[in-house]
A and B are shown apart, each in its own frame.
Chain A
Amino acid sequence: MKRSVAVSLVIMGAASLAACQEETVDSAVYYSVDECVSGKTYSPEKCETDYKAAEAMHEKVAPAYQTQADCEAEFGASQCAQATEQHASGGFPFLPLLAGYMIGKQMGAGNAAGVAAQPLYRQAGKNAFVNAGGHEVARSTGPVKLSSNSPAIRTPAATTRTMARGGFGSRSMSVSA
């Protein structure tokens, strides 16, 4: 057959032609590389690589606060530190400590549900791991199933400071006129 088996639309038009597909993504949450390795679900290399990826993202995307006190009010005493690298929002704000990480998952063949490893945080008085967007990923460490549509599954895009907004468009009106 030379044609698509099905052609659906989910956001275009007045009536969507089919429902949006949702998939379950298998991942896991760990405090540390050691805990991940002893869990034996993932190889030591995978545990290490994903931790490094989450750690590298942490200083860029962690929830940012102007003062140590503001940060500790949310995440607890001695649970915050000033950024040592420039944060995506600009400057060197106070950030919660990295409390754990979520394992990433490669896209499989014919399966769109891949996710990136991400850093996780624990709010004071709450028994949950949240991502940088504040969405709950898991209650405890170990394997976890997440919906591919859940905001918990991906770190939110970094907000930043726009320095110039001239945009494009001075030369062309449209490509099809």
Chain B
Amino acid sequence: MTQQHARPLGLLVATAFATALSATAALADSAGATFSTGDKFSEKTGQELYANVCQACHMDKGQGAVGAGKYPALAKNTNLETGGYPVFVILHGLKGMPPVGQMMSDDQVAAVVNYVRTNFGNDYKDPVTAEDVAGAR
């Protein structure tokens, strides 16, 4: 659930907050990007999680990026062949990459791993499960 949906809109009744209301409505219209509630990611599907978390570094098409160092491309990445590898990296981090899986449930980690392993030119058909993730924490 996104924050704008979770917020009790009915409470924003003071006239001074009329503009706040319209801003909230505008937020609900903004496609794609979401904000979580609290200190865990709220996105559910692999696609949503990718677009709001992983994309921050690995970019919108999994192409990665290069500067003084690089973010590896996830597109056509043979390291994804074994599902346990991305599960481990998301849960525990790797070098500079933070352990973002600590802010996700087992289901969420499985969802985003399965999404990445079947998109961006990857076609690994053996899905990981929430149980696999729980075992790797």
Partners in one complex: no
* A interface residue numbers (CB < 8 A to B): none
